[in-house]
Amino acid sequence: QMCEKFAVCQNSVEMLLQNNLNLPKVTEEDGLYLLKRTVQNKCLRKISSGLYTFQTYLKYIQETFTSENQNVESLSYSAEHLARTIRQMVINPEEVIIPDAATQESLHTKLKSTKAWTEKITIHLILRDFTSFMEKTVRAVRYLKNTRSFSV
């Protein structure tokens, strides 16, 4: 929708130049598909922490992309619910990193200072990386559901 509505597409030069958002990512190196439970636990911590971190980014999108406010609000609520659920699956849930209020406010201020002409690109980058993060999260949860004895 972003590409069609605002002409913000994957190959935009401005988009590539502005991609300094440091968004959460899940990689193979995080060890989810290894058989060791401790390594899988580390991956679950990273997923839950990433989902909590994305909350600030989603809040920014909700405030900025007002025509999609309800959709983004629903997305944010679902992501937070998933973060809590996955956090409960972690051996020591206290080890999940949840950004504190000061960190969230600092990030939010940084995002809000984005110039209007890069705002749409920033939203696109956040949504693109969130989509990628969620695709890997779904794969991880399915894998764990099939290899561990718990239900999600």
Expressed as residue numbers, the domain containing 134 is: 35-101+110-147
94 falls within a domain: yes
Domain with residue 133: its CATH number is 1.20.1250.10
| pTM score, whole prediction | 0.77
24 falls within a domain: no
* Closest by CA position to 76, among listed 62, 65, 97: 62
135 falls within a domain: yes
Q: How many domains is the chain partitioned into structurally?
A: 1
Report residue 125's pLDDT band, with 50, 70 and 90 as the boundaries.
Answer: confident
50 falls within a domain: yes
DSSP state of 87: H
89 falls within a domain: yes
The residue written with tokens 């944010």 in the block is 76
- pLDDT per residue over 72-94, tens digit each? 999 999 999 999 999 998 999 99
Report residue 140's pLDDT band, with 50, 70 and 90 as the boundaries.
Answer: confident
